[in-house]
Structure 1
Amino acid sequence: MRLFFLTKAPLAALLLLGHTLMAQQPVSDGVEMADKLRADGKIWVVVAVIAAVFVGIIVYLVRLDRQIGKLEDEVKGQRRNVTDTPERTKNAIH
């Protein structure tokens, strides 16, 4: 139990104290590019592109998961056929 604490203590200290070390200066005027995009109404184009990219990634991952599932089923089916074959030949011989 004591070893567990000693190995996790530096990580905990880094997490607790790291936010002050990596803090940025506060922005007084805001982000100029974001303000310009909001003013022109183009921020919605940025949001739409980001949403399209995320939807594309999700669709890709779902399709990939289905394809991998089909391949796993095929491999399991082949393993069943391979394991069934020696048993059938043993039963046929005896």
Structure 2
Amino acid sequence: MKKLLSFLTLMLVSLASFAQDNAAGEPEMADKLYADGRIYAVVAVVVTIFLGVVIYLITLDKKISKIEKTLNSK
């Protein structure tokens, strides 16, 4: 069991080292998007999604608080 655990740990470490390799010397994705001017569109989409989730959570919290108040008053 100890050998198996050691083997799996070493395999995961080697996979992590392969993940650091840059494919064929190409620029990173963010660098390419920045060079093309598309990074602003990506940031705008991410911010829009984040704001949508935050607004949804705030309205959900208000609704839950309202329901809790009606249940506690009964």
TM range (shorter): 0.5 to 0.7
**1:44 pairs with 2:40:** yes
Look up the match of 1:7: none
Q: How many Å separate the matches in 1 of 2:11 and 2:51?
A: 34
| Structure with larger Rg | 1
Look up the match of 1:82: none
Give CA-to-partner distance per residue, 1:12-52, whole Å, 9 cap, x none: x8xx8675143114103323x54432122111110011011
Q: How many Å separate the matches in 2 of 1:56 and 1:25?
A: 33
Query: Unpaired runs of 5+ in structure 2?
Result: none
The TM-score normalised by the length of structure 2 is 0.67
The secondary structure found in structure 2 opposite 1:30 is: coil
**1:26 pairs with 2:21:** yes
The TM-score normalised by the length of structure 1 is 0.55
Which has the bigger relative contact order, CA under 8 A and spacing at least 6?
Answer: 2
- State the identity as a percent: 39
1:44-83 → structure 2 map (5 Å cutoff): 44-78=40-74
Query: Unpaired runs of 5+ in structure 1?
Result: 1-9, 79-94
**Deviating runs (4+, > 3 A) in structure 1?**
16-19, 33-36
